[in-house]
Structure 1
Amino acid sequence: MKLKITHTTTYAFNSEVFLEPHYLRFRPRQTAYVDINEFSISIVPEPSGHKIIQDEENNVVDFCWFDGVTSNLSITVESILETKPFNPFDFILEPQSYNQIPFEYDESKKKLLFPYLDGLPIAQELIDYGTAIIEKAEFNTIHFLTQLTNQLHKDFTVEYREDGAPFLPEHTFEIKRGSCRDLSWMLINLLRQQGIAARFVSGYYYFDMIVPAFELHAWVDVFLPGIGWLGLDPSHGILTGNTHFPIATSSHYENTMPVSGGIRGSASSKLITELQIEKI
């Protein structure tokens, strides 16, 4: 399957501002099951400097700086992706000790995975929620991860919220609803409490709809030896497959924001986004 993704992000300011340097995260990642055939980015106003860099967690980022003042910032990206057949369950865990929870990463992995194991304190009720599913899964790692992801989908209502930081995990758990990033941030911190390395993922998710209405999506990756990073989508209750297209991953959601940068000026701004994904 071949897809065309067109994503436009516009900040409209009510007076002119000077744009500080900006980090833009819009480039889909090449994976074993998705080829990036084409990518283009258009930025208005045109930057005076533009460099493609890798950040601390190996995300590919467009770093831009500007001259002069402007009343808007608009970024339009177009990507052509081609998917390959993919079975998310085609794996084994090695060493086999990782098949049972609790497990512990070896010392070398602990050092590399430390940012993805460092979780927030969470409410006992949320811990108990996870523990009950571990017991139901008979302490089997993959059964636990799949059942937990599916149970979150059943127990929580997914809401669209265009901007704002994710809620604290205990708040999302208490109100039983939230955006994809709220559910993902809660799941990450629950998994870290169980000693499982987890990271935040920002990207696109495609599925057939009668009336297409796509948005930037968030999900979770966990690290398991023998598999590497395995994707869990609590909003849909599934393991990620070849219709999930990651853009940025990080131990903290702040480092996956599509646009990061400041302004000089006293203007307020309005965010306008448009995302289209179509088969070609």
Structure 2
Amino acid sequence: MSKIRIHHRTIYHYRYAVNLRPHRLMLRPRESPDLRLLSHEVSITPQAQVSWAIDVFGNAVATAVFSDMTNVLTVDSVALVDLTAAAWPVFAIAASALTFPFRYSDEEWTDLGALTARQYADPSQQLQRWAQGFVASNSTDTLSLLKDISAGVSSSISYQSREAEGTQTPTQTLDRGRGSCRDFAVLFAEAVRSLGFGARIVSGYLFNPDQILLGSQDQGSTHAWVEVFVPGAGWITFDPTNRSMGGANLIPVAVTRDIAQSVPVAGSFVGASDAFISMDVEVEVSA
């Protein structure tokens, strides 16, 4: 059992005072059997009217509406969670899905829908061939296959921290041989989707108290990983950046079909085209 505090601060600097359009915030940790949200508070300067909603994926999304002009926008999110995920989880996979290939039930297939569809073009089948290379035979252990693909991402691709926004396509990551945790997650999700699995991208925080995990220079940081749906077991967590399985050290905030849907703070402003100066992000994850 670990009580973990997450402080996530985002600061936008503008050269002149601007009118802020509504901003979308995805900062509230997702509760699960492995994670209990003890408290969460969002503070915004300048003052904003904040309303909450649940999106199509079940994520808590806040909308901040502003009335005052400003040259600095600060969004502070402070959460306290109780994380109890096992370091070595055991999954009760349905007998019908123990080996790959298997078939989702009609209901599962309908509900998974777009989460089984690939989000990036692969005209030369480069990604398809790469993923298929992990399938040893027509009867492959399902969990071993998924673990092999996750490990294959980190063994084929060098981790490179990248503060710039955006994500590489899977083929760009394969060609370049390097990427951030976002690129690792997208590559893994698209690889397993190419084999018929339902997968969703997860964004949140990495708790790294011993500072031995990739994706964090300190005790924690924002992070991205993947969940794959396997009948019987449900959604299984894979962090290809660290070759890990299960939710230990991971604090989810949002699950989405596409990683672009899970930006922590998103919005725009009305003002001079050269008004924007910079955005600073500070994240502290501590016990």
Cα deviation, 1:238-263, whole Å, max 9, x if unaligned, reads 11323200001100112111012221
Cα deviation, 1:154-189, whole Å, max 9, x if unaligned, reads 221111112322111100011111011111111111
> Distance between the aligned counterparts of 2:278 and 2:137, measured in 1?
47
Partner of residue 55, structure 2: 55
Amino acid at match of 2:208: F
* Secondary structure in structure 1 of the residue aligned to 2:140: coil
> Distance between the aligned counterparts of 1:137 and 1:149, measured in 2?
20
- Stretch deviating more after TM superposition (124-133 or 172-181): 124-133
Partner of residue 71, structure 2: 71
Contact 2:100 2:138 in 1 (8 A): no
Q: Does 1:217 align with 2:217?
A: no
- The CA RMSD over aligned residues, in Å, is 1.8
- Stretch deviating more after TM superposition (10-19 or 83-92): 83-92
Partner of residue 272, structure 1: 280
Partner of residue 231, structure 1: 237
> Distance between the aligned counterparts of 2:186 and 2:156, measured in 1?
16
> Distance between the aligned counterparts of 2:116 and 2:44, measured in 1?
36
Compared CA separation, residues 171 and 85, structure 1 to 2 (3 A): closer
Contact 2:46 2:68 in 1 (8 A): no
Q: CA deviation at 1:205?
A: 1.0
Amino acid at match of 1:275: V
* Secondary structure in structure 1 of the residue aligned to 2:268: strand
**Identity fraction in percent:** 26
The TM-score normalised by the length of structure 1 is 0.93
Amino acid at match of 2:156: D
- Stretch deviating more after TM superposition (257-266 or 189-198): 257-266
> Distance between the aligned counterparts of 1:169 and 1:79, measured in 2?
33
Q: Does 1:243 align with 2:242?
A: no
Cα deviation, 1:55-90, whole Å, max 9, x if unaligned, reads 121100111111131112111111112222525532
Q: Unaligned stretches of 5+ in structure 2?
A: 212-216
Contact 2:37 2:79 in 1 (8 A): yes
Partner of residue 35, structure 1: 36
Partner of residue 112, structure 1: 111
Partner of residue 214, structure 2: none
> Distance between the aligned counterparts of 1:272 and 1:213, measured in 2?
19
Q: Does 1:259 align with 2:260?
A: no
> Distance between the aligned counterparts of 2:284 and 2:210, measured in 1?
12
Amino acid at match of 1:235: T
Q: Does 1:121 align with 2:121?
A: yes
Amino acid at match of 1:148: I
